[in-house]
Amino acid sequence: MTNRPVPVEDRFALQDLITAYCFAVDKLDDLDGLLSLFTEDAIFDLSEIGLPRVDGHSGIRGFFGPVFDYMTHHAHYVTNFKVETYAGDTASIRAYVMGMGNSRDGNHVLVYVDYYLDCVRTASGWKIKKFFEKALMPMPGSLNEIHGD
């Protein structure tokens, strides 16, 4: 992938994509809206933080469906956005994210993570092709309680 200057409209569109992802996750009620941000064959990989890697819309739906049912509140805050690489129709971006949530059984989670997204330009705008996340701070035990099998 060639790294070249990022046109401002693409930089904003890529930043809007990561923001749209956080808003969609925080809504807890619109799986189709969330999936619209990903390519059909996207990889969603949380293995670095002890959660599963899933593939495609069906895998992402299978992961988030139970999460949306179990959680009462979500809030994700994005900082330190950066375009790591850019090649016109492909880009890799990253950002620090503070994510928190409350579950129906009173559990709470607070995580500080680093998002890595590989994105592609499509006819309907930028989409996430690969989503990867790693911890910036130690992960809380409540993460496994909330996302456990």
Report which DSSP code applies to 49.
G
Residue-level pLDDT at 2: 56
The DSSP bridge pattern shows strands 38-45 and 53-55 to be antiparallel
Residue-level pLDDT at 90: 97
* Euclidean distance between CA atoms 147 and 67, whole angstroms: 7
Give 130's contacts (C-beta < 8 A, 6+ positions apart).
42, 43, 45, 116, 117, 118
pLDDT band at 7 (very low <50, low <70, confident <90, very high): very high
Task: Identify any residues that bridge with 92 across adjacent strands, giving them in sequence order.
Answer: 85, 118
Q: What's CA 90's distance to the chain center, in Å? A: 17
The DSSP bridge pattern shows strands 125-135 and 38-45 to be parallel
User: Residues 115, 76: contact at Cβ < 8 Å?
Assistant: no
Sheet of 38-45: strand order equals 53-55, 38-45, 125-135, 108-122, 90-103, 71-86
Residue with tokens 């992938």: 1
Report which DSSP code applies to 60.
H
pLDDT band at 32 (very low <50, low <70, confident <90, very high): very high
pLDDT band at 147 (very low <50, low <70, confident <90, very high): low
pTM metric for this prediction: 0.92
Distances (CA, A) of 121 to 63, 80, 86, 107, 127: 25, 22, 11, 38, 6
pLDDT band at 146 (very low <50, low <70, confident <90, very high): low
Q: What is the pLDDT of residues 87-143, one digit of tens each?
A: 999 999 999 999 999 999 999 999 999 999 999 999 999 999 999 999 999 888 766
CATH number of 8-147: 3.10.450.50
* Euclidean distance between CA atoms 15 and 103, whole angstroms: 28
Q: What is the pLDDT of residues 43-83, one digit of tens each?
A: 999 999 999 999 999 999 999 999 999 999 999 999 999 99
